[in-house]
Each structure stands twice: as C-alpha cells, then as structure tokens.
Structure 1
C-alpha cells in the first residue's frame, strides 16, 4: 500500500508551491489536500471555534476550507471519510512562500498545520522556501524529505510523533544540515495612517529583518545557503526558572 499523505499549507490550496509539491509527492504516495481557501499566513495555531466553516472540493482529493491551517488538519482528521479514506501516514505542510526561521515558528500557519498533525500522533513536516528558491527543486527536495520521514518512522516508532521544520534558501541545490532554532529579529513598528474617509487605521510589523549569529542554527544554515532541518518539540515546558517558581509559590502560601 502506498503511503497516504495529508498535504496543507498557509498560502492557500491554489498556491503554486503546494501544487508543485503535490505533483512530486503523488509520484510515490497517495495525497489528499486540505488547505485554506485563501492566504492564512501568520495565523499561528488558531482554531475557528466561534464561526461556521465551509469545506469545498476543487478536484479529486483536493479540499479547501475557509479556515486556518490548523482548522484544515483538524477537519481532515476528524471528518470521517469526507476528506481522508484512512488515517494519514504523514502530515506535510508547505512549501511556504518564504522561510520560517527562529521565532517565526510561533507565528507560522505552515508550522501550525504540521504541529496539529503531530499533536494527533502523526509524523509531520513543515516545509518553507525562500522566494528565490527554484520551485521545482524545492518541491522535489520537500517530497524526498517527507517520504524519508515516512520510511524512518515506519522503521522506528517515535513517540511522541516527530515534528520537523525545514527551511530551503535561495538557489536550486543545497547541502542539508540538522539545526536548532536561531534568532530572527524584525524591525518592529506600528504605522498609523488615515483612510479616504478620514478614519484612522494601522499596520503592524516592519519589513526589515536580521539574524543574530547562533552556531548550528536554522538562521545560520539559511544565511550560508544550506537547508536546515530542525526537530521541534510539542512539550514546551522548561526546567529553567524553578527557583523563581519556588519563591512565587512560597510567596502565595505566606500571603
């Protein structure tokens, strides 16, 4: 039986990058697309709990949902056989138009779609590429990595389910590295303007970006023209600040 891959993204089901990745994956796997109807970049892991959603089919095994990337994976996995014929072997998200490096992983809808799959116990991979990466080469590499994840997890059961974040820089051929999360800093600003009717509106987020040097990081690999593969964790708790917590709890107890 060919592996079954659930494919999503945050750029929308008609994204040329998703279409290219779908074509590559379909050579060796059965693929079902469930992706946002329109661009949902930077929606992070939000779920649409307080409005109705509409699911539309745009071809054989191609579905678009007017919701977030996380919504798409949730609906696909919990809609019986309306979307998927069975539980997928891998969840693939991408290829995103632009990298998701450093703290981008907390905002990225691309990463969130993969994370939703991993939360449900399914190996998942988020793929992102520089706008100047050759689309066909990036899609081919993304498909190879996704299928390699399938074979690796078929041979060795990983618990919890692995969640990988991949960033492809500009170009058409790249070395590949195992990486950690780097530091990506944007020029943070709020721009206030006035519309033609005299009402104020605003834009958040600056266009400038730079990377602090972190050895072995995804940002370092990207800056040096290498593909970075970062293993993410679903457990974001930390043993740091335990002394602070002890003081806080003691303060509450003595208050």
Structure 2
C-alpha cells in the first residue's frame, strides 16, 4: 500500500526499462518514494526529444509499476502523464530520468534521450532531473548519489514552486565517492567523422559520429567538474530565447521593412 506522505516519482531513461542502471536507481529511490517506471522497450540513446507521431505505439506492463513503451523517452513521459490512471495513480511529484549508462555533458544534452525525458517532464510543469554516470562509476554508489539529489530536489520544492519547473542535469564521474558541485554547461567536443564503407554485396553504407572526445577549458562547467572527479549538477533552461541577438533581429526586420 502506498504511503500518502511519500512522493510519487515517474522514472524513465533512454537505455530501456530493463537497464541495470535504471534498476539500481529505482531500488535507491523506492527507499523514500513510490516509483513508477515508464521507459523505452529497447535502447533509444541519442533520440533527443523526438515524439512518435506517425506510427502506433504499444504500452506493456512488465511488472507492478513497471511499464515499457516501444517508442522514445519523450513518448514514455508524454504517455505516462496523459494516459489517465493506466500508468500513474496521480500526477507525479518528480520526474527522474536515468541512470544513464554513460555521460551527458555539454552538448550531449541536445542529443540525449535521457535529458529529453526529464525535459518532457519539466515542459509539463513537473520538477525533473536527468542522471547520468560514467561507465566506470560504481553503479550502486552512483545510484545512491543520484537518488539523494533527486529526493533533495523534491524536498527543496515542497513549499515553493517556481513559475517554471526546474530541470537539472547530473553527471557522475568514475569512482565510488565524489564531491558535488553546481555547474554550467561545458564544451564536450567529438571528432566529427562520416565513415563510408561497403557491405558484402558492394553497396555503400556509412557511420556518423567520431569516437574521440575532448573537453575545452570552461571554468565552472560540467566538463571541468568531470575532469576533476566531481559530480556536476547543471540547471538547464526551457526558454531558448537568445536576447543577445535582439539587435540582429531588429536590423534584419528594418532591412526588409
């Protein structure tokens, strides 16, 4: 029986509902909260914020409070929040996405399905947090830190809710114990490659995205925190307006008036 005093958390990811990191994070969160999982049926990494608008989707219940969608992470949050009581007994207090198997630093946030699931929650007015861990982070320790941050976020917002729901992006470096710091988005740069090959029948195919990655020095950033062995907590914005370019817009409009 659910305890009415416990927060209700909607948990998702982009690695799939059966991913070990999601299970580890769920186990930590359920110590202090009621948790409902609604996550992709299979891996949906790097799907960003795409929604499946042009094909039917299937909702499957794999266990009590564990649901899977054959769609994207954003699909999962959208469906869970708008399917009446098919998935959730009520509106959740918090959306948690993760724990991702791998980092989402810097520009990764634009491509990440993990971050997108949390962003979808924040767009619907629910405080949301995305949690990612380096593949060399100790899983249980990282899940414990992620759960502590998520629950601390809920406690901090119980009395006062900001006009816009906050969206946090957490990244955990290798190891099993870490300091935690507030950060901004850093510069994580990949080698940009398009690799052309031929299949056994002589037809061309290609891979995009390089394997090499580097971090430019950005003081106070999530990439700097990672390089120094700290957990980073980065507040992300839902407002993409760039006021610094207002004068450019005025110049463009004036030139065609």
SS in 1 for 2:98: strand
Residue of structure 1 in register with 2:224 after alignment: 220
Select 1:46's aligned residue among 45, 50, 56.
Answer: 50
Residue of structure 2 in register with 1:161 after alignment: 165
SS in 2 for 1:76: helix
- Aligned partners of 1:159 and 1:180: how far apart in 2? 21
Q: State yes or no: 1:31 paired with 2:1.
A: no
1:155: Cα distance to partner? 2.4
- Aligned partners of 1:100 and 1:36: how far apart in 2? 18
Gaps (5+ residues) in structure 2? none
TM-score for both structures, normalised by structure 1: 0.98
Select 2:214's aligned residue among 189, 210, 229.
Answer: 210
1:242: Cα distance to partner? 1.8
Comparing 190-199 with 129-138, greater Cα deviation is found at 190-199
- What are the residue-to-residue correspondences of 1:45-124 with 2, within 5 Å? 45-124=49-128
1:156: Cα distance to partner? 2.0
Comparing 188-197 with 237-246, greater Cα deviation is found at 237-246
Residue of structure 2 in register with 1:13 after alignment: 17
Runs of 4+ in 1 over 3 A off after TM superposition: none
- Aligned partners of 2:132 and 2:81: how far apart in 1? 23
Gaps (5+ residues) in structure 1? none
SS in 1 for 2:182: strand
- Aligned partners of 1:159 and 1:10: how far apart in 2? 28
Aligned length: 253
Select 2:145's aligned residue among 129, 141, 150.
Answer: 141
Select 1:177's aligned residue among 172, 177, 181.
Answer: 181
SS in 2 for 1:196: coil
Q: Show CA shifts across 1:60-97 (max 9, x none).
A: 01001000000000000000000000000000000001
- Aligned partners of 2:221 and 2:191: how far apart in 1? 21
Comparing 155-164 with 167-176, greater Cα deviation is found at 155-164
- Aligned partners of 1:191 and 1:114: how far apart in 2? 32
Q: Show CA shifts across 1:15-60 (max 9, x none).
A: 0000000111111110000000000000000000001101111000
SS in 2 for 1:136: helix
- Aligned partners of 1:178 and 1:218: how far apart in 2? 8
